[in-house]
Amino acid sequence: MKEKIQSLRRQIDVLNINILELLSERAEVAERIGEAQTTLGLSHYDPAREQEMLEAIVAANKGPFDEPTVKSLFKQIFQASMQLEDDHDKEKYLTSRTLDHEDTVVRVGDVHIGSNHSPVLIAGPCALESREQVLLTAEYVASKGVSLFRGGAFKPRTDPYSFQGLGEGGLRLGREACDQYGLKFVTEIMDPRDIGMFIEYVDVLQIGARNMQNFMLLKAVGNTDKPVILKRGLSATIEEWVMAAEYLLSAGNPNIILCERGIRTFEKYTRNTLDVSAVALAKLETHLPVLVDVVHSGGRRDLLVALTKAGLAVGADGIMIEVHPNPAVALSDNKQQIDFDTFDRYLEETGYHKKLSIKRHEVYGF
Ligand code: PEP
Ligand code: MN
């Protein structure tokens, strides 16, 4: 009897290999269909076709497996083939975290953003307003260990009659302050025609939420090798945000940093809703560093510490915050910027004064 079992098992071994060979052959054909569908812009999932195949299989089934079992086995095969086709589609995307793609680390001078580097802090006023305001803020944040200074010279304002920024004069001031205090300058570019001017003054180009799908701007910025912070659009899906990053990468710029800055929801207690799952998902789906702008997301000073902790807990590679010597008289976002004393407390309460100098895993254990 034992010998009989041995002999039957040898038959099963051969059949297993035959099934595997057939499955692999089937998968290759499915891949060819998938490629053709992708070329035609068609979906890989075709429920009518699945139904047709299942009916033919069930009709040909002579047992001993019953109909539900056969159906479930084949559905499993269909599912696996479709996964293969979807995975192939993703391979062409430069943002995609294919199995062997390591975390991108963007270097800004000697600051490393991404992977296991300690989370960065980008601080500075909403808008660059005057020489005094710019120099005072730059000096202060630099004295606290911050290396990246933010401040808008070209401001995307809802109201066309409100302060629009100092323009090139603001860029010049930002550069001067950063050089004086050993900072790197982060500022928003709105018009692709300004690229030459920005390159002269700026260390990191920011693409604002309102311009996330300005494709001409994305292409122009993608043509440079300057580090870029790409804000998520006000109502952009994660896919649209990642596709915007794809524009930058496909134009040749590998130094892309994503930034979640809150999205529009029905909530009124906050200016926007910080989408923490988007931060985690962007890190899962792409290899790019991801920041959290805790200012424009909540729009409230009393949320800055909590949102910072939340952002870092879901894996953010850094935080952006707005600091102003006297927020009450700020020419933009005066309700959400914080003064120097509050910034001090923020650093204390978030533990950021420590995070600025040591490795991420030493702070979080991951
Ligand atoms: C900013 O960071 O200055 C800004 C305008 O932010 P957002 O584009 O996210 O609104
Ligand atoms: Mn602002």
Encode the chain (366 residues) as per-residue pLDDT tens digits.
899 999 999 999 999 999 999 999 999 999 999 999 988 989 888 999 999 999 999 999 999 999 999 999 999 999 999 999 988 888 889 999 876 689 999 999 999 999 999 999 999 999 999 999 999 999 999 999 999 999 999 999 999 999 999 999 999 999 999 999 999 999 999 999 999 999 999 999 999 999 999 999 999 999 999 999 999 999 999 999 999 999 999 999 999 999 999 999 999 999 999 999 999 999 999 999 999 999 999 999 999 999 999 999 999 999 999 999 999 999 999 999 999 999 999 999 998 766 655 555 665 554
* 34 CB within 6 A, ligand 1: no
| DSSP secondary structure code for residue 103 in this structure | P
CA of 208 from ligand 1 middle (Å) equals 5
* Nearest atom within ligand 1 for CA of residue 208: 8
The answer, yes or no, to whether any atom of ligand 1 lies below 6 A from the CB of 296, is yes
Q: Residues 169, 259, 234, 202: what is their CA dihedral angle, to the nearest 10 degrees? A: 10
Residue with CA nearest ligand 1 atom 6: 208
Q: Which residue, judged by its Cα, is nearest atom 9 of ligand 1?
A: 209
Q: Using CA positions, which residue lies closest to atom 8 of ligand 1?
A: 208
Q: What is the pLDDT of residue 211?
A: 98
Structure tokens at 252: 């040749």
Residue 352's pLDDT is what? 76
Q: State whether the beta carbon of 315 lies less than 6 angstroms from ligand 1.
A: no
261 touches 296 (CB < 8 A): yes
User: Which residues are paired to 323 by β-bridges?
Assistant: 338
Cis, bond preceding 160 (omega within 30 deg of 0):
no
151 lines ligand 1 (CB under 6 A): no
Q: Identify the three-state secondary structure at position 264.
A: coil
| pLDDT in the model for residue 100 | 65
Q: Is the CB of 152 under 6 A from ligand 1?
A: yes
The backbone torsions φ and ψ at residue 116, rounded to the nearest 5 degrees and listed phi first, read -95, 15
Atom 10 of ligand 1, residue of closest alpha carbon: 209
**Cβ of 209 less than 6 Å from ligand 1:** yes
Give the number of the atom of ligand 1 that is nearest the alpha carbon of residue 126.
3
Determine if ligand 1 sits within 6 Å of the CB of residue 236.
no
What are the Cα distances from residue 69, in Å, to 21, 46, 54, 66, 206? 21, 22, 12, 6, 55
- Please report how many Cα atoms fall inside a 13 Å half-sphere around the Cα of residue 342, on the Cβ side: 18
Tokens found for residue 297: 């997301």
Give the model's pLDDT for residue 357: 55
- Given this model, what pLDDT does residue 202 score? 98
Ligand 1 pocket test target in 128, 231, 307, 319 with most atoms within 8 Å of CB: 231
Dist. CA 206 → ligand 1 center (Å): 9
